[in-house]
A and B are shown apart, each in its own frame.
Chain A
Amino acid sequence: MNIIVCIKQVPETTEVRINPETNTLMREGVKSIINPFDMYAIEEALRLKERFGGKVSVITMGPPQADAALREAISMGADEGYLVCDRAFAGSDTWATSYTLAGAIQKLKPFDLIICGKQASDGDTAQVGPGISTHLNIPQVTYVKKVEEATDKSMRLERMLEEGYEIIQAPLPALLTVVKEINEPRIPSLKGLMRAKNAKIITFTQKELDLDPQQIGLCGSPTQVVKIFTPTPRVGGQMLKGEVPDIVRELVELIKGEVN
């Protein structure tokens, strides 16, 4: 089974601070890690490879230093790493990112399965995985918490819902996004780390991918960030006391006051 795992390098903290003057993320001094949800995607791909054979390729779009994320995935057991990296891709939103990644994945054909984490811990959009499947015109199953059965033709999956789960049968090739309930990611091995250190990472630029310039980077991104701000914390409520009819009258007056 040939599996492609899409990963993202993100800052290691769930509390990234925002510079109030420039409204940009303050990344200085923050270590970069593989998006924690993508770790489950890598682990699931490795487990499927252990069952069915084949290979696991990891792909990421990002700056040159995202190379470290690919090497970490290789140290866990992935076979190949692909870095999609070009200034032309800078400023991509989820639309342009999924279009670009789908373009790169076309180069890795044939594949049976694409696995993504359910979302990235920095952007929290959960859009890139489904976007890739749409651009590639293959089925998608999001929020997968268990692979029940798998053959080289199809998969039976448990998909997590807010209450309970769905069982979905999907033909392959397909794209899955996975949740943290699916597995426990492994610790790399020493031999894996040595292999990762010397592994060759293949870079795809716009030249190799030859994508529609209107759909990549900032100009291919319909999302425009107008403003980034920290929401002001809610202040405590006001408790009204007394008889119900009096409270209701008081409440109505207060609401009128707010409206005016």
Chain B
Amino acid sequence: MDYLLTEEQKMIKDLAHKIAEEKIRPVAAKYDINEEYPWDVLKVMGESDMFGLFIPEEYGGFANSTMNLCLATEEFSRACGGIAVCYAASALGTIPIVLFGTDEQKKKYLPALASGKRVAAFAITEPEAGSDASAIKTVAKKVGDHYVLNGLKHFITNAGDAETYVVIAMTDKSKGARGASAFIVEKGTPGFTFGKKEDKFGIRASSTRELIFTDCKIPAENLLAKEGMGFIVTMRTFDMSRPGVAAQALGIAQGALELAVKYVRQRVQFGKSISSFQGIQWMLADMATEVEAARGLVYATARMVDAGIKDVAKESAMAKMYASDVAMKVTVDALQLFGGYGYMKDYPIEKYVRDAKITQIYEGTNQVQRGIIALKLIKEMAK
């Protein structure tokens, strides 16, 4: 389907495609097996200006565009969902600074993030605060011209490898959700350490660790936005980054579909290519249609964000939920088309199933997304 991309968007898509095919696909299995952070690939992405796609030009980026981020993430994910998430998670850690940073904060952090020399991460989740983000226990206490952080964040993508972290902590517990604030914390700050690296089912090229804060003193100027705005920072960031997660799911689905079509054309049973069987053809047709429908939703949402439409919570949730459900279904069907070979690690398709699963879980489970969508519908009707 032709999405009438601009010449610049086509250029971004083609370049990301080239990086995916030449630099990501050949090493995808290696990083999946070794669970190693793909620094060499991120270096190439940085040199090609890919980290600048979500950072404004005046801070060393290319343009602040969710559509650009989606196009690049989709192409990277076609080749490896794990390597792609290292990239997308850096966007997630960068977006709050782009949206809420002061000019000084932007000047200090964004150029290094735009060039890919530094990677970012976003930290809200805690052991007891997953879908219920208001239950976070990490605290930030103002002491003179500093804040002192104490607490634990877990399941943080890029943790340990990232240099720049945006961390949500409670500055006033009595105010509940309105008592949370966002802080920029740099790796190497005394009192800021990392817990164990998680051994994951999928997206194994990316690193997932705990962040441990023990009397971690950070300068007051590292507060992002104002005290009490932590959840607004989070929600606005997620509205912009959810299309990115949706694009990751979309890319994984597209990649699996392509591998499946290629495989069924080669595989011969009963003396014929199995692509000649109607049962197989109908599966392919459903898969391709669902992938295309997901793409339409993801691109339309990204374009809404870029057009400056403020309230995109419903559309972002729809795109993330639908694209990730499609990714799960399409990757499982793709594995089915590979038959017994698909179940073996010698073939690339089982990795797509593993990588797809997380997209239904993180940045808000799909159940939470459905909650957001339903609530919006009901509110709209009540107006």
Contacts and interface: CB of A to CB of B under 8 A. Distances in A.
Contacts of B19: 187
A190 B12 contact: yes
Contacts of A190: 11-12, 15, 48-50, 52-53, 62
For the residues of B in contact with A, the DSSP-based class is helix
A160 interface: no
Contact of A186 (B8, B47, B49): B47
Contacts of A189: 47-49
B18 A187 contact: yes
Given A187-B18, A190-B52, A193-B11, 16 more contacts: A186-B44, A186-B47, A187-B15, A187-B22, A187-B23, A187-B47, A188-B48, A189-B47, A189-B48, A190-B15, A190-B53, A190-B62, A191-B49, A194-B8, A194-B11, A197-B11
Contacts of A191: 49, 62
For the residues of A in contact with B, the DSSP-based class is helix
A196 B48 CA distance: 14
A193 B12 CA distance: 9
Nearest 5 pairs between A and B by C-beta? A190-B49, A189-B49, A189-B48, A187-B48, A193-B11
Nearest to B72: A190
Contacts of B23: 187
Contacts of A186: 44, 47
Interface in A137-166: none
Interface residues of B, number: 16
Nearest to B53: A190
A63 B19 CA distance: 29
A186 B15 CA distance: 12
Interface of B: 8, 11-12, 15, 18-19, 22-23, 44, 47-50, 52-53, 62
B62 A193 contact: no
A193 B15 contact: yes
Nearest to A75: B15
Contacts of A187: 15, 18-19, 22-23, 44, 47-48
B310 to A, nearest CB: 28
Nearest to A185: B22
A85 to B, nearest CB: 25
B48 to A, nearest CB: 5
A172 B358 CA distance: 57
Contacts of A193: 11, 15
Contacts of A194: 8, 11
A67 to B, nearest CB: 17
Interface in A181-207: 186-191, 193-194, 197
A197 B15 CA distance: 14
Nearest to B62: A190
A169 to B, nearest CB: 32
B121 to A, nearest CB: 24
Nearest to B44: A187
A16 B12 CA distance: 30
Nearest to A77: B47
A190 B62 CA distance: 8
Greatest chain B CB density within 10 A among A187, A188, A193 is at A187
B4 to A, nearest CB: 19
B197 to A, nearest CB: 29
B163 to A, nearest CB: 22
A186 B23 CA distance: 10
Contacts of B8: 194
A69 to B, nearest CB: 16
Contacts of B52: 190
B223 to A, nearest CB: 33
